[in-house]
Amino acid sequence: MTINGAADTSTDYSAFRLTFTVDGSYTLASPDGTDTGTWAFNSNETAIIVDAGTADEFTMTIIELAASSLTIEFTESGNFKTADELNNWVMTPV
């Protein structure tokens, strides 16, 4: 994972699991707990929209989608570390 172009070594992301299911739901499991919600592609399938229509809605741009990996990018605004962070996640099936 990178934040603003630099590798984030402050967290061990190996324990994180993000699961998207065909029924449009997702589960994010981390050492801090589990979050669930809904997801869908945007109209041209270049982004994933999670929790549409809720206060938690946000969009993740698909950088690459292959059979063996998914690379997404999104901006996290106003978190406890910085004002804005550009996150880039590369995910592989486990």
At 62 the pLDDT is 93
The number of domains in the chain is 1
* pLDDT greater than 80 at residue 5: no
In a domain, 9, yes or no: no
Query: Which residues make Cβ contacts (< 8 Å) with residue 41, sequence separation at least 6?
Result: 47, 48, 49
Burial (CB count <10 Å: 0-12, 13-18, 19+), residue 50: buried
Q: Per DSSP, which regions of the chain are E strands?
A: 2-3, 6-7, 17-20, 25-30, 33-41, 47-50, 58-66, 69-77, 84-91
- For position 73, what pLDDT does the model report? 85
The answer as to whether 33 is a domain residue is yes
| Structural domain contains residue 8 | no
Assigned domain for 57 exists: yes
User: pLDDT tens for residues 10-49?
Assistant: 777 788 888 999 999 999 998 889 999 999 999 999 999 9
Residue 35 lies in a domain: yes
Query: Would 3 be classed as within a structural domain?
Result: no
pLDDT tier at 90 (50, 70, 90 boundaries)?
confident
* Structural domain harbouring 56: 14-91
DSSP state of 51: S
